[in-house]
Amino acid sequence: MSSTRALALITGANQGIGLATARQLASTGKYHVLVTARSLDNAEAAVRELQTTAADPTALAPIAIDVTDDDSIAAAVESVSSQFGHLDILINNAGIGQPEPPQVSIRKAFRQVFEVNVFGAMAVTDAFLPLLRASSYHDRRIVNVTSGLGLISMAGKEGYAFNANAWYAPDYRSSKAALNMVTAAMSVKLKQEGIAVVAAAPGMCRTKFTGGQGRKDASDGARVVVRAATEGAGEEVNGTYVSDEPHDGW
């Protein structure tokens, strides 16, 4: 399927920041947005909601992806390949903040969080790389949605509202720190292919993920993700950390 619109896929796009990101991209009329969720039913429900505000309701498609399931990822790649033959922008948004159920061993807790936030994001990226390489789009990008809690420079910073005294969460913090390092390494590796890899930290937004806590709406956080995915020249934003929050570096 050919289109003049850039083809963007967002994991975990049926709620929260992922849904808000899909809404903002779809409202511009410049993107064909692949809306993913762990189940096709959830992805289809999100598409129906997004179609009410999209510039072109036909420029949205539901895709099922469970980022912890390699077979699910492979099926999603096959679906995108057969329908479009390429991918222009990949946004790794799916993530969890704490293990389920909460009463688990420390080893299992870290494994559950890393399985989604790190291994899931990288498995999706690796699987979709051939389709990104097949794209002729002038500004191919991979955006990894991270968090200020993953910044080592800020974990012990006195007076910082989200330092480790205020928000301990070593499993979540370390998963996002790992995602940051993978982002930095991939940005070096893929630079020669003209694929920019960017980290986007939307900040703490009032979503189901945060239990409704936060200073920002999901739409505010999504604007950071959209900026990382679409603004500036790819070679200039490659390997950068995009955020509205104050920080002292990674």
77 DSSP β-pair partners:
none
Q: Rounded CA gap, 125 and 66, in Å?
A: 13
Query: Is residue 241 annotated as a catalytic residue, yes or no?
Result: no
Res. 104 pLDDT band, cuts 50 70 90: confident
Res. 102 pLDDT band, cuts 50 70 90: low
SS3 45: helix
> Can you give the pLDDT at residue 1?
46
Res. 246 pLDDT band, cuts 50 70 90: confident
Considering the candidates 31, 160, 172, 241, report the single residue annotated as catalytic.
172
Considering the candidates 176, 189, 191, 216, report the single residue annotated as catalytic.
176
Query: Is residue 176 annotated as a catalytic residue, yes or no?
Result: yes
> Can you give the pLDDT at residue 212?
67
Q: Rounded CA gap, 5 and 234, in Å?
A: 17
pLDDT, tens digit (0-9, with 9 covering 90-100), for 187-217? 999 999 999 999 999 988 767 776 766 678 8
Q: Rounded CA gap, 30 and 144, in Å?
A: 21
